Amino acid sequence: MLRLLGILITVLAAIAAAVVTWPQFFRLERTFPIAQIVSLRPVVILVCAAVLVLALLLCLARPMRALAASLAIIAVLAGGANVAILMMRGVGPGSLPEPTDQSVRVMTWNTAGDGTDADLIAQTAVAMRADIVALPETTIETGEAVAIAMRDLGSPMWAHHENFGDREDFPDWASNSTTLLISPDLGDYSVVSSTTDGESNTSQVPTVVAMPVDGTGPVVVAVHAVAPRQSAMGDWQSDLEWLADQCGSANVIMAGDFNATVDHMARLGTGGDLGNCRDAAVATGTGAVGTWSTEWPAVFGTPIDHVLSTDAWTPTGSVVLTSLDDSGSDHRPLVVQLEPAAH
């Protein structure tokens, strides 16, 4: 009887380890609570390490030796697989090459509303030489203040925004605003009307979709998807599907707070990680560096802020800014450099 119980525990542990390590195989990556667990791969690794230590201690007891050895093997395999996944996506500090005449630098920073000073946002964007700045949870008033400060620092920007607070039954607070800044050097842009009139957008917090007025240049999308709380899983799933649709054309740059890791984008790609878009941080070696929460070291954080682009662009560098963890936001800025792809 005890032997059968040990076999059952081993089988269940193996299944659980497989599910949290690669939920995509089981089509569970966007299912509660697996979606939440897989977003915390560093924590999964720590749990595997703890199980390994406990199993090794249990090996000292002869009646528990077989079960303990089995659990130790599962912990080693699951922990090692999660480490390998993070290493493949990139845990380095990252870097940005010297920009060329054709480079486009993209910065995304969820500013937590009034939590982050507009002058600090502007100074950071200018220091990073950003051409596109996606600012989820940022009102147009703050966005305009950032744009004015950037202009005064020699980097003028046009400010675009979407505010769900203008809609019935939506509270007027910073989370219901997303601001997008675009350099005039990229041309004139206008926000797509279908995203502002309620016909098409993310569900609970807004996304800005801006099109080049003259038809040349990338479609620029400043993203904010709802967080995958248990009560909002359906909206979160539909947000990711809608965002994948926005990346269906040939020339798109997306940046913002997706409230999702690349694991959650599985099966939403049609040539990329999400729609036709590929994650720039993963391509340049910082894809596993945590952008949320600033209360934890970046190595234990969750990379839910992204810059993605279609094959019209080649990522050449990226960096997660960990020096601004005391700025007031619970997110870290991510900066990516893109170059036009050679075709």
Specify burial of residue 187 (Cβ count, 10 A radius: 0-12, 13-18, 19+).
middle
As beta bridge partners, residue 134 has 108, 180
What are 84-114's pLDDT values in tens digits? Answer: 999 999 999 899 999 999 999 999 999 998 8
Would you state the pLDDT for residue 170? 65
Please give the DSSP secondary-structure letter assigned to residue 195: H
pLDDT of residue 200: 84
Adjacency order of strands within the sheet including 252-257: 189-191, 208-212, 219-224, 252-257, 305-309, 278-279
Question: What digits encode the pLDDT tens for the residues 253-264?
Answer: 999 999 999 999
Could you tell me whether strands 219-224 and 334-340 are parallel, antiparallel, or unpaired per DSSP bridges?
Answer: unpaired
- Burial class (CB within 10 angstroms; exposed 0-12, middle 13-18, buried 19+) of 155: buried
- What pTM did the predictor assign? 0.93
| Cα 8 to Cα 14: distance, rounded to the nearest angstrom | 10
Q: Which residue positions in the chain have pLDDT lower than 70?
A: 1-2, 166-173, 194-199, 343
Which pLDDT score is estimated for 1? 61
What three-state secondary structure class fits 274?
strand
- At residue 302, the pLDDT reads 97
Give pLDDT, residue 198: 54
